[in-house]
Chains A and B, each alone.
Chain A
Amino acid sequence: MKIFAVVFTSLLLVGVSLAEDDEATEQVETIEDLIPEGTGYEKHPGADTHILFTKPGGGYRLVSGQEAHILLGFINRASEDLFIDTLDASFRLAGDYNSVIQNLSAVGYNRKLSTGQEASLFYQFHVDNVFSGMPVGLEVSLMYHDSEGKVYREAVFNSTLTVEEPEVSFDAETFFLYVFLAAAIVLGAVLLLQCVSRNKKPSGRTETGTKDGDVDYAWLPSTVLKQGTPKSTRQKKNKSE
């Protein structure tokens, strides 16, 4: 397999050089050429990584407002020991990978892997609600070093994902919105009814005095009661007037 790889690369180089000779294009020096890309760390040839999103599952997906869980497998195919240091992630702008939107905290592992051994690393982070619906570049990078102390950094995941919206079963905001609307409707109905009933009110409410049967004479001692009945007193009063 390696022989074929060598053949392929050599052929490609030859092809490219031939192409360049054919089309003598001008190369303008840009800023990107002066400032090196990345941190300057490279990947160890013996490191074989594989990333899996366990939450939310089903491929490479991110759901806003929820935690995302990543499982990273690392096989040490080199002939020396490798030491895994940290795993960190960052959200970048979908178009421009060099502008970081959010740096997520790094988790340290400090694990030693001998030749041929494999380790699984777990990493989790929270996807903020801000990212809901927008495409975002996620870069997960692993830092490790070898027995000589040389540090390596590898972007185990580096691509653009569109953050999905969560499936909401119960939203407090909309619930209380409905409650408020219901209350407003009820209030409106009550006010309406009041207006209607107010129009009916000023009709025939004559003031009547106390009638004969309403008064309780039980508290008066019997002697006083014998003196005069209310009718007689009224007659007396009428007579006096």
Chain B
Amino acid sequence: MRLFVLLACVCFTYAEEQKLPEARLLSLKKVLNRYLVENRDVSVDYELFNVGDAPALNVKLTDRTFPPSDFDVVSGSLDAKFEKILPGANVSHSLVVRPNKYGLFNFTSAEVTYRISEDSTEERISFTTEPGQGGIMPEVEYERRFSPHYLDWAVFALVSMPSILLPYFLYHSSKSRYEGLVKSKAK
């Protein structure tokens, strides 16, 4: 009986070795912004992890989910190419877009195509993660809620200072004049 088990183990290990090494890419698409505002930059980050045994070749990342009518690309590009991603390595790509409309927008996956190994010609199509639905808020509302308005406060302080300081100065000058009179006599 033990012989059978031994034979079985040998067959098993042999069977394992026959599995070909291939690349496997896990791709992550993230929207880095906390708030999505109309006409303000939205940063999108892509990360590709190779968790396979072989290097991923001819990796092409394409994002078709930002229609040019609704989004302007500010920096980076919607496409990226990586010649080779070694097993265990990861690469990243970033993109900055600017929405020119407000409302709900569903951020869906971008597409990654790569060759799984040097020997194979199979091009695997892989979809990145979906960041999900986000609300792009109108610019006016964002302005009202979030900007620090330092300049506005400074101008207000500047303009209101005369109305406060001038009367105080006049009052103070008169007051000190008369109090000085009292003190000088007391001496």
Contacts and interface: CB of A to CB of B under 8 A. Distances in A.
- Chains A and B directly touch (beta carbon < 8 Å): yes
Interface of A: 1, 4-5, 7-8, 11-12, 14-15, 18-19, 22, 50, 52, 54, 71-73, 75, 109, 111, 113, 116-122
A119 B109 contact: yes
B121 interface: no
A120 B26 contact: yes
B174 to A, nearest CB: 27
Given A73-B24, A122-B28, A8 B127 contact: no
Interface size range on B against A: 20 to 34
B25 interface: yes
Contact of B1 (A4, A19, A72, A122): A19
Given A11-B7, A15-B8, A52 B125 contact: no
A120 B124 contact: no
Contacts of B128: 120
A1 B7 contact: no
A15 B4 contact: yes
Nearest to B114: A118
B8 A71 contact: no
B144 to A, nearest CB: 31
Nearest to A119: B127
A12 B2 CA distance: 10
A119 B126 contact: yes
A111 B132 CA distance: 12
Nearest to A4: B15
B11 interface: yes
A8 B8 CA distance: 5
Given A4-B18, A8-B15, A111-B130, 8 more contacts: A1-B15, A4-B14, A8-B8, A18-B1, A50-B51, A52-B49, A116-B124, A119-B126
B117 interface: no
